[in-house]
């Protein structure tokens, strides 16, 4: 099956039409297969194409698609539908499958549903928030670790684009198998995903291609690691080489903390095979920032800037987490810094990966440190997927057709693409289960989510670790559970709206940071708000 052509003229025309009003959801239409089969979706009364603000109305797809045929006859399929738009121009209508089930995937489904060229959005496995909001049809029974099952589903349902959210399926080679089957897939191969799957691989690439990063050494022997730490002195950073669900980094302020981190990884094996090799890295002082770029193997285009908060407590205290909140844009990432990051970090990485024989297609998420002593960016680490919770603030600000943009990346056509963003700012406040990032209770009931979203049309709550109990209540089943997201004309308004919504949510067993965005907020206002 050939990849689907990207039509920049049609896409731009659709965008012009779409953004005469704030947001547009999918229109009723059909998915066509080879032969006479046809499914008509979104046939329920009252479903409209246009919606103001963040629509929480449910569509035909609200709820989970509990079963499907994995053994249906394999045949060529059409993952795109062409039709005449209201303006007379041809529109390509894509069926999209999102892989994953967290807050990041909820945000991607939300943005894809708003894409003018997107006909239908599936999400596997998805979560209760994605399904209840109608942002996608969730596929709880689709085993995303089984490439053949995913390929079968794509062929059966006419999927024209797969977007892989989490890193684990990428490292496992899901994108390799989908591309080999002729299914356009946004996400790197297993070989290219080593940029995140192995910090040692990433560091070696940086040194080979002159990409600025912190000084480091890699160890498998705990005694040698401790000797190096003693020579370098603290503070120092110890990282598990492999994937550790965002928890494999320790910023040690004392020698005892550093030695304990080494022992936990290399001796006790707390991260399993991911921690059988550790990177001991120079501590960089400065401001962290998240930098995202879409890559098609040769070309890279930057996304808007964002900044997250890794520490669990106010004032950046406590252990690291997967992220307790984020905002966009990040004032520290100036246009000058953005240009420098593209020139010195992103583009050399893309070129280096190509020269190493593993072209990168997907999103490069560079964790940066803007050094205090120089004001220049250094690469801390790479992720090969959208950050969580940064994805949430980026997706609510994106005004381009996400489906067409990602498809262009799959086809190596990003040089034809420019991105449009809403003015103003966005902020997400993560609500987590008490005890996170350590042990936490599961099954606690969360109430008043609808009331929270009604605080303002600019509020959208993305679900990460939620489910429902036997009484239909929303319950927490994860560490990071909700991402309460707001947009505003500036960071102050986004801050006010996000925290107003958070205060509406009844969840005694949950907690959140009260200082998200403090780096960008005027100190006087932040103090008065806390």
Tell me the domains of the chain and their CATH numbers: 95-189 (3.40.50.20), 215-283 (3.30.1490.20), 425-512 (3.90.600.10)
Distance CA 412, CA 421 (A): 22
Distances (CA, A) of 220 to 171, 260, 266, 494: 22, 15, 7, 46
Give the H/E segment covering residue 480. strand 480-488
Q: Give yes or no for residue 98 having a pLDDT over 70.
A: yes
Stretch among 10-24, 200-214, 426-440, 505-519 having the lowest mean pLDDT:
10-24
- pLDDT tens, position by position, 42-51: 222 222 223 3
Distance (Å, whole) CA 230 – CA 234: 8
Q: Poorest-confidence range of 51-65, 160-174, 226-240, 302-316?
A: 51-65
- The DSSP symbol for 120 reads E
Q: Which residue has the higher pLDDT, 156 or 54?
A: 156
Q: What is the pLDDT of residues 403-460, one digit of tens each?
A: 999 999 999 999 989 999 999 999 999 999 999 999 999 999 999 999 999 999 999 9
Q: Which residues of 72-108 are buried (b: 16+ CB within 10 A; e: fewer)?
A: eeeeebebbbeeebeeeeebbbbbbbbbbbbbbbbbb
Tell how far CA 449 is from the center of its chain.
22
- Predicted confidence at residue 154, as pLDDT, reads 98
pLDDT at residue 385 is higher than 70: yes
Given pLDDT bands bounded at 50, 70 and 90, which one contains residue 288? confident
Which residue, among 57, 55, 53, has the nearest Cα to 22 in the 3D structure? 53
Q: What is the pLDDT of residue 79?
A: 56
Residue 504 parent element (H or E): helix 491-504
CA distances from 130 to 57, 133, 387, 429, 515 (A): 12, 5, 18, 18, 27
pTM beyond 0.85 = no
Interacting residues of 280 by C-beta distance below 8 A, sequence separation 6+: 216, 217, 218, 219, 225, 228, 229, 232, 236, 237, 238, 239, 262
Q: At what angle do helices 255-262 and 222-232 cross, to 10 degrees?
A: 160
- Does residue 391 or residue 76 have the better pLDDT? 391
Distances, alpha carbon 291 to alpha carbons 166, 341, 391, 486, 529, in Å: 17, 8, 11, 20, 28
pLDDT at res. 90 = 37
Q: At what angle do helices 103-113 and 402-410 cross, to 10 degrees?
A: 100
Q: What is the band of 92 on the pLDDT scale with cuts at 50, 70, 90?
A: low
- Position with higher pLDDT, 319 vs 258: 258
Give yes or no for residue 18 having a pLDDT over 80. no
Least confident of 83-87, 110-114, 159-163: 83-87
Among 14-18, 176-180, 274-278, where is mean pLDDT lowest? Answer: 14-18
Q: With bands split at pLDDT 50, 70 and 90, how would you rate the model's confidence at 319?
A: confident
> Average pLDDT of 377-398?
96
| Band (244; pLDDT cuts 50, 70, 90) | confident
Q: CA 26 to CA 3: how far, in whole Å?
A: 23
Residue 108 φ/ψ, nearest 5 degrees: -65, -40
Average pLDDT of the segment spanning 56-72: 37
Least confident of 76-90, 122-136, 189-203, 505-519: 76-90
């Amino acid at each position: 099956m050939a990849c689907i052509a990207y039509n920049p003229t049609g896409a731009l025309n659709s965008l012009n039409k779409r953004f005469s009003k704030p947001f547009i959801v999918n229109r009723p239409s059909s998915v066509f297969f080879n032969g006479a089969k046809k499914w008509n979706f979104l046939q329920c009364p009252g479903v409209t194409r246009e919606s103001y603000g963040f629509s929480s109305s449910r569509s035909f797809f609200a709820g989970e698609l509990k079963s499907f045929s994995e053994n249906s006859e394999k045949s060529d399929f059409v993952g795109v539908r062409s039709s005449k738009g209201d303006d007379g121009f041809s529109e390509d209508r894509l069926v999209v499958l999102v892989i994953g089930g967290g807050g990041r995937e909820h945000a991607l489904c939300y943005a894809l549903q708003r894409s003018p060229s997107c006909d239908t959005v599936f999400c596997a496995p998805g979560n209760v928030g994605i399904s209840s909001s109608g942002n996608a049809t969730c596929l709880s029974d689709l085993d995303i670790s089984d490439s053949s099952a995913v390929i079968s589903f794509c062929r059966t349902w006419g999927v024209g684009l797969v977007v892989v959210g989490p890193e684990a399926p990428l490292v496992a080679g899901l994108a390799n198998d989908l591309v080999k089957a002729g299914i356009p897939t946004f996400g790197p191969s297993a070989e290219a995903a080593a940029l995140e799957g192995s910090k040692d691989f990433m560091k070696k690439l940086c040194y080979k291609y002159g990409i600025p990063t912190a000084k480091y050494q890699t160890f498998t022997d705990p005694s040698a690691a401790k000797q190096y730490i003693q020579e370098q002195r603290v503070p120092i950073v110890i990282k598990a080489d492999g994937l550790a669900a965002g928890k494999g980094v320790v910023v040690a302020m004392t020698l005892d903390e550093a030695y304990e981190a080494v022992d936990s990884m290399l001796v006790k094996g707390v991260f399993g095979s991911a921690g059988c090799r550790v990177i001991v890295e120079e501590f960089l002082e400065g401001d962290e920032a998240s930098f995202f770029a879409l890559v098609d193997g040769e070309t890279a285009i930057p996304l808007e800037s964002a900044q997250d908060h890794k520490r669990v407590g106010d004032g950046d205290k406590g252990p690291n987490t997967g992220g307790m909140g984020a905002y966009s844009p990040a004032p520290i990432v100036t246009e000058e810094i953005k240009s420098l990051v593209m020139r010195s970090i992103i583009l050399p990485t893309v070129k280096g990966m190509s020269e190493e024989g593993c072209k990168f297609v997907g999103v490069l998420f560079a964790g940066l440190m803007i050094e205090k002593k120089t004001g220049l960016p250094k690469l801390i680490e790479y992720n090969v997927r959208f950050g969580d919770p940064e994805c949430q603030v980026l997706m609510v600000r994106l005004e381009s057709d996400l489906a067409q943009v990602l498809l262009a990346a799959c086809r190596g056509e990003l040089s034809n693409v420019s991105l449009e963003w809403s003015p103003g700012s966005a902020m997400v406040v993560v609500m987590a289960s008490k005890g996170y990032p350590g042990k936490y209770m599961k099954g606690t009931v969360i109430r008043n989510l609808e009331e929270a979203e009604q605080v303002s049309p600019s509020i959208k709550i993305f679900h990460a670790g939620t489910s429902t109990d036997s009484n239909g209540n929303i319950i927490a089943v994860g560490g990071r559970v909700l991402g309460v997201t707001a947009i505003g004309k500036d960071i102050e308004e986004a801050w006010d709206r996000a925290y107003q919504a958070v205060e509406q949510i009844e969840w005694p067993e949950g907690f959140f940071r009260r200082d998200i965005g403090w780096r960008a907020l005027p100190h006087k206002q932040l103090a008065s708000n806390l």
